[in-house]
């Protein structure tokens, strides 16, 4: 039966059905089991290189145990918002722990990373304010700009000259100007030139908001984020992070001065009108921070793996966007080819994810690979062997056109 709605919007479904019928549909693959860096899909084991589990903590015994204990003590959910009946002592303990870890005065936990951006930016940017966005900001930031009452302007990706032009043009027209950018860009793995952003923010009196979803847990000393990596923590007004990557769970955190976090706490609608993070998730994040602080081998292992795979890709002749992080995109070019390569990798025991237009410009399809501290060198060697075969099989260009 055709729905009235879909009838007039059927192009997307036609495309999805065509891909399914050709066994090339690369989305919603149902993972049957996962253990560390290996997952089971279609009854076959595959090495996972499509996950944001950078520190490999989703199966860490201390983390799993903390999560189970929290359920035993508090039950499975909070059945209400933090504002009213869903505020547990462990929420507040986690916020204190995260503020200390990140190096800011205060922190506030949201139920998801997306809600953190939606709530925080719409609270911060009022009708007389404006935001200046990096052109490659994450989708959640773009949606936040639609919710915020102020205007949004864009500057060219990681281009400080372009940012300065936007600042100069707008700083006298608005009450507050907020520079908003990803700390680590999720598709290319490139790092924001945060030191330069801070210099410009100081010069023009702008507020700085960093979405460090892919930087927190990874960048800087003990994973304290992109702001720590550049030594500018106290200069970043708002730092946002997620728990669905390095912190093995779900949720988000906003950190900054006590006063500004207090303001967001009383005005962000996605915080006030959402049920709070479940106890198991809160305990998981706290346990991840404990593991990060006590285990000095995690980050060296992660960066050793990243270097190994990056050098391997270079040797084979792939273009990887000069990535400097555990996110290493492999340029493919054509959308269809990217899906064929994804299927080929899967058949050979490697789970990777394609990124297609409109997430990237037409003709710039890529395979987004990402690496964990828990990958073994044997696994990564196999990944490189399979990619080498794929390059030959599909004639993947070695340069980005």
What pLDDT, in 10s, does the model give residues 48-93?
Answer: 999 999 999 999 999 999 999 999 999 999 999 999 999 999 999 9
Evaluate if residue 335 carries a pLDDT over 90. yes
DSSP annotation string for 152-173: EEEE-TT-HHHHHHHHHHHTTT
Give mean pLDDT, residues 197-218: 98
Give mean pLDDT, residues 132-160: 97
Alpha helix locations (H) across 215-326? 226-229, 258-265, 269-272, 279-294, 298-316
Kindly indicate the confidence band of residue 371, based on its pLDDT and cuts at 50, 70 and 90: very high
Give mean pLDDT, residues 144-150: 97
Per-position b or e across 240-272, b if 16+ CB within 10 A of its CB: bbbbbbbbbbbbbbbbbeeebbeebbeebebbe
Give the pTM: 0.96
Question: CATH for 61-294, among 3.30.342.10, 3.40.640.10, 3.40.47.10, 3.40.50.10300?
Answer: 3.40.640.10
Q: What is the pLDDT of residue 399?
A: 72
% of the chain exceeding 90 in pLDDT: 93
List Cβ neighbours of 97 (8 Å cut-off, separation of 6 or more): 286, 289
Burial of 9 (0-12, 13-18, 19+ CB in 10 A): exposed
Give mean pLDDT, residues 158-182: 98
Kindly indicate the confidence band of residue 96, based on its pLDDT and cuts at 50, 70 and 90: very high
Give mean pLDDT, residues 28-42: 94
Q: Is residue 66 left, alpha or beta, with left meaning phi > 0 and alpha meaning psi from -120 to 50?
A: alpha
Q: What is the pLDDT of residue 10?
A: 81
Contact 376, 364 (CB under 8 A): no
Give mean pLDDT, residues 189-200: 97
Q: What is the pLDDT of residue 385?
A: 98
Q: What is the pLDDT of residue 8?
A: 66
Contact 268, 119 (CB under 8 A): yes
Q: What is the DSSP letter of 211?
A: E
The vertex-259 CA angle with 264 and 227, nearest 5°, equals: 80
Which residues does residue 81 pair with via DSSP β-bridges, in sequence order?
Answer: 275
Per-position b or e across 296-308, b if 16+ CB within 10 A of its CB: eebbebbeebbeb
Q: Label the pairing between strands 207-211 and 177-182.
A: parallel
Q: What is the pLDDT of residue 3?
A: 75
In three-state form (DSSP H/G/I as H, E/B as E, the rest C), the secondary structure along 75-119 is CCCCCCECCCCCCCHHHHHHHHHHHHHHCCCEEEEECCHHHHHHH
Q: What is the pLDDT of residue 166?
A: 98
Separation CA 70–CA 76 (nearest Å): 8
Residue 342: other Cβ atoms inside 10 A: 26
Tell me where in the chain the CATH 3.90.1150.10 domain(s) lie.
28-58+297-394
Q: What is the pLDDT of residue 4?
A: 76
Q: What is the pLDDT of residue 315?
A: 96
Query: Class of the 28-58+297-394 domain?
Result: alpha beta
Evaluate if residue 401 carries a pLDDT over 60. no
Q: What is the pLDDT of residue 80?
A: 96
Strand, coil or helix: what is 266?
A: coil
Separation CA 264–CA 274 (nearest Å): 14
Q: What is the pLDDT of residue 1?
A: 65
Q: Estimate the share of the chain in helix, then strand, then coil, as percent rounded to the nearest 5.
A: 45, 20, 40
Contact 238, 210 (CB under 8 A): yes
Separation CA 367–CA 294 (nearest Å): 34
Kindly indicate the confidence band of residue 292, based on its pLDDT and cuts at 50, 70 and 90: very high
Per-position b or e across 355-368, b if 16+ CB within 10 A of its CB: bbeeebeeebbbbb
Evaluate if residue 7 carries a pLDDT over 90. no
Separation CA 166–CA 375 (nearest Å): 42
The H or E element containing residue 197 is helix 194-204
Tell me where in the chain the CATH 3.40.640.10 domain(s) lie.
61-294
Share the mean pLDDT of the chain.
96
Give mean pLDDT, residues 294-315: 98
Burial of 169 (0-12, 13-18, 19+ CB in 10 A): exposed
């Amino acid at each position: 039966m055709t729905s009235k709605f879909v009838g007039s919007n059927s192009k997307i479904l036609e495309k999805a059905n065509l891909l399914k019928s050709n066994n090339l549909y690369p989305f919603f693959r149902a993972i049957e089991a996962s253990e560390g860096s290996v997952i089971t899909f279609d009854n076959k084991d595959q090495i996972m290189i499509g996950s944001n589990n950078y520190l490999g903590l989703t199966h860490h015994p201390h983390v799993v145990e903390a999560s189970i204990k929290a359920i035993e003590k508090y039950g499975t959910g909070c059945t209400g918002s933090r504002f009213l009946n869903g505020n547990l002592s462990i929420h507040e303990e986690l916020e204190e722990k995260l503020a200390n870890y990140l190096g800011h005065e205060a922190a506030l936990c949201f139920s998801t990373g997306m809600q953190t951006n939606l709530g925080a930016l719409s609270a911060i940017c009022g009708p007389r304010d404006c935001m200046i966005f990096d052109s490659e900001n994450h989708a959640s930031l773009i949606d936040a700009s639609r919710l915020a009452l102020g205007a949004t302007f864009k500057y060219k990706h990681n281009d400080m000259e372009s940012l300065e032009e936007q600042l100069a043009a707008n700083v006298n027209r608005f009450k507050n100007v907020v520079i908003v950018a990803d700390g680590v860009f999720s598709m290319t793995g490139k790092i924001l030139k945060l030191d330069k952003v801070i210099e410009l923010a100081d010069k023009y009196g702008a507020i700085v908001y960093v979405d460090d979803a892919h930087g927190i847990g990874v960048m800087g000393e003990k994973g304290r984020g992109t702001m720590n990596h550049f030594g500018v923590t106290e200069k970043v007004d708002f730092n946002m992070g997620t728990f669905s990557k390095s912190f093995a769970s779900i949720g988000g955190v906003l950190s900054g001065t006590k006063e500004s976090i207090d303001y967001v706490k009383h005005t962000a609608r996605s915080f006030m009108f959402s049920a709070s993070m479940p106890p198991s998730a809160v305990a998981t994040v706290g346990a991840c921070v404990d593991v990060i602080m006590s285990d000095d081998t995690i980050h060296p292992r992660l960066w050793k793996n990243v270097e190994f795979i990056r050098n391997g890709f270079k040797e084979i002749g792939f273009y990887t966007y000069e990535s400097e992080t555990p996110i290493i995109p492999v340029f493919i070019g054509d959308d269809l080819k990217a899906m064929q390569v994804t299927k080929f990798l899967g058949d050979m025991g490697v789970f990777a994810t394609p990124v297609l237009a409109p997430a990237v410009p037409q003709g710039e399809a890529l395979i987004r690979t990402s690496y964990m501290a828990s990958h073994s060198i044997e696994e990564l060697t196999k990944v490189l062997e399979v990619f080498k075969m794929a390059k030959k099989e599909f004639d993947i260009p070695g340069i980005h056109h």
